[in-house]
Amino acid sequence: MLTNAQPPREYAAAYLLKEIGSVLSSRCQHSEVLDYHRRALEIRKRYSDELRISTSLVCIGLIYRRMGQYDKALDYMKQSLRIKQKSLSGAHHIVWSQ
C-alpha cells in the first residue's frame, strides 16, 4: 500500500494509462482500450492498491460489456465488487454511477 511519499513514476503512469484507455473507449477502439486498462491494472497490482485495482477491473468489465462479452464483463465486475467489499468498512456505501 502506498504511503504519503511521492509515488514512483511507474505508479503515476497507471493513472495516465487508464485515462488514455478512457479516451480510446469513446472512439470504440476496444482492443487498444483493454491493453491500456490491463497495463494500468498490472501496475496497480504491483503496488497493492486495492481500490484502484477495483477501478481498473470495472473499466475492463465495462469494455467487455460494450463488446457484448457479458460473461467476461460480469467476471471483472464481480472481482471488483469483492475487492470493494473487503476494502471498505460497513460504514461506507458503494455508490456507482454511469
Residue 17, in any domain of the structure? yes
Least confident of 45-49, 70-74, 88-92: 88-92
Q: Is the pLDDT of residue 64 over 60?
A: yes
Residue 21 maps to a domain: yes
CATH number at residue 46: 1.25.40.10
Q: Is residue 96 part of a domain?
A: no
Instruction: Indicate whether 77 belongs to any domain.
Output: yes
Spell 78-94 as b/e; 16+ CB within 10 A means b.
ebbbebbeeeeeeeeee
Crossing angle, helix 50-66 and helix 9-26, to 10 degrees? 20
Q: Is residue 3 part of a domain?
A: no
> What's the pLDDT tens digit per position in 34-55?
988 898 899 899 888 898 999 9
The cell numbers describing 61, all together, are 468489465
Cα 53 to chain centroid, rounded: 5
- Indicate whether 49 belongs to any domain: yes
Domain encompassing residue 57: 9-86
Q: Structural domain tally of the chain? A: 1
What residues have CB less than 8 Å from 22, skipping those under 6 apart? 33, 59
pLDDT per residue as tens digits for the range 7-17: 567 666 776 67
Other beta carbons within 10 Å of 3 = 6
pTM flag (> 0.75): no
- For residues 23 and 83, the model is more confident at 83
Let me know if residue 32 belongs to a domain. yes
What is the residue-averaged pLDDT of the chain?
Answer: 80
Instruction: Confirm if 37 and 26 have CB atoms less than 8 A apart.
Output: no
**Of 64 and 24, the one with more pLDDT:** 64
